C-alpha cells in the first residue's frame, strides 16, 4: 500500500516557494506543513513550532546523534536545517499529505527517500537578475549572506532537471495556478 503522500517544493533561495507553500496550505486543508528544525536565529514574525523548530547547536547535534532527521543540511555561514522523522510520521499517521518547503539538496534527498510516492516541484526564478532583486528586496540579508545565497542559487538552478516538474515563477498568480494543478492532480491520484 502506498502510504506516503508527499509534496516537495524547492527553489533557489528567494525563488518564491514559501509564498506558494502558504497558499497551498490555505487552500488544501488535507495538507500539513513539514516544520523543519533549524539553528538559525528566529526572524521577526516567525513562530517557534509553526515556521520552524528553533534549536540550539547542542540540541541539533543531539538529534543528529539520535537519528532523528530524515535529512539535514548546513549552509549560509553555519546554520543547519533538517527534517524531523517523527514530525512527518505524525502527519502521515493522521492521514495528511505533507508539504515540504526545502532547499535543493534537501529536496533531492527527500525525493530519494520517499521515491515515487513523492511529487517534487522546482520553482525557478525567471532569471538570475530577478533572483538577486528578490533577495535584496526581502531585506533579511546582509551583504555577506546575500553573496553566499546567490552563489548557492547558481548551483541550485542547474539541478532543476532532477525534479518531476519545473514551474517558472515570473508572475506569482500563474506560477501558483500551475503548482495548484500539479498538487490537485497528485491528491486525486492518491485518494
Interacting residues toward ligand 5GP by CB under 6 A: 13, 36, 40, 71, 73, 81-83, 101-103, 105-106
Q: How far is the CB of 111 from ligand 5GP (least distance, A)?
A: 12
The three cell numbers of residue 76 are 549560509
Q: How far is the CB of 189 from ligand 5GP (least distance, A)?
A: 25
Q: How far is the CB of 191 from ligand 5GP (least distance, A)?
A: 26
CA angle centred on 145, ends 20 and 99, rounded to 5°: 25
Residue nearest to ligand 5GP (CB): 106
Strands ordered across the beta sheet of 6-10: 31-33, 97-102, 6-10, 118-124, 165-168
C-beta of 1 vs 24, nearer to ligand 5GP: 24
Q: How far is the CB of 149 from ligand 5GP (least distance, A)?
A: 8
DSSP at 46? -
C-beta of 42 vs 185, nearer to ligand 5GP: 42
Burial of 51 (0-12, 13-18, 19+ CB in 10 A): middle
Amino acid at each position: 500500500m502506498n502510504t506516503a503522500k508527499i509534496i516537495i517544493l524547492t527553489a533557489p533561495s528567494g525563488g518564491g516557494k514559501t509564498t506558494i507553500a502558504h497558499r497551498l496550505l490555505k487552500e488544501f486543508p488535507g495538507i500539513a506543513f513539514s516544520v523543519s528544525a533549524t539553528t538559525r536565529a528566529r526572524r521577526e514574525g516567525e513562530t517557534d513550532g509553526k515556521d520552524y523548530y528553533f534549536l540550539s547547536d547542542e540540541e541539533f547535534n543531539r538529534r543528529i546523534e539520535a537519528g532523528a532527521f530524515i535529512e539535514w543540511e548546513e549552509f549560509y555561514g553555519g546554520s543547519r536545517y533538517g527534517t524531523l522523522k517523527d514530525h512527518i510520521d505524525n502527519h502521515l499517521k493522521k492521514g495528511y499529505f505533507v508539504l515540504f518547503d526545502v532547499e535543493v539538496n534537501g529536496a533531492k534527498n527527500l525525493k530519494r527517500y520517499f521515491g515515487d510516492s513523492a511529487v517534487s516541484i522546482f520553482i525557478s526564478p525567471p532569471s538570475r537578475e530577478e533572483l538577486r532583486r528578490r533577495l535584496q528586496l526581502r531585506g533579511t540579508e546582509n551583504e555577506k549572506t546575500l553573496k553566499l545565497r546567490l552563489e548557492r542559487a547558481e548551483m541550485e538552478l542547474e539541478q532543476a532537471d532532477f525534479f518531476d516538474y519545473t514551474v517558472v515563477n515570473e508572475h506569482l498568480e500563474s506560477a501558483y495556478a500551475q503548482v495548484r494543478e500539479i498538487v490537485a492532480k497528485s491528491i486525486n491520484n492518491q485518494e
